[in-house]
Amino acid sequence: MASWSPGGKWIAALSDYKSFKLLLLDASNVSRTRELGSGGDGLYWSPDSRFLLLYKDELSCGPSESYSIEILDIETGERTVPKSSHCAISGGLGGWVSSGIASLQ
């Protein structure tokens, strides 16, 4: 699994389906830039190419096919798990929503 950043500078790729090791590649020469820890079931870039949205299979969710979301800052490697997503995602496709749309609630 791999995903190009919207700006075209990066490729995020999982090394294989067994280890789910996440790699960040320089798209200009496809060299390995660095490892970003474990990946997930989805790789979705933010529109500004600064973050990756990852679907993480949560063993703590029990027998159901539930996921949590992790937001990965590719510059710092810091990961954030929105509390409202813990074991609350049930498959499907992911993506980013602008703050203007999200604030319409």
Total of domains in the chain: 1
Could you tell me the CA-to-CA distances from 17 to 12, 20, 23, 56, 69 in Å, in that order? 14, 5, 13, 13, 18
Alpha helices by DSSP H, listed for the chain, are 99-102
pLDDT at 103: 43
Query: Is residue 89, in this structure, part of any structural domain at all?
Result: yes
pTM for the model:
0.74
Q: Which residue has better confidence, 63 or 83?
A: 83
pLDDT at 93: 58
Query: Is residue 104, in this structure, part of any structural domain at all?
Result: no
Cα-only R_g, the chain:
14
Q: Which amino acid is at 11?
A: I
Identify the domain containing residue 50 by its residue range: 2-95
Q: What is the pLDDT of residues 41-72, one digit of tens each?
A: 678 888 899 998 887 766 666 666 677 778 88
Question: Taken in order 84, 87, 92, 95, is the CA torsion positive or negative?
Answer: positive
Query: Is residue 67, in this structure, part of any structural domain at all?
Result: yes
Share of the chain above pLDDT 90, in %: 7
Q: What is the mean pLDDT of residues 19-25?
A: 82
Query: Is residue 100, in this structure, part of any structural domain at all?
Result: no
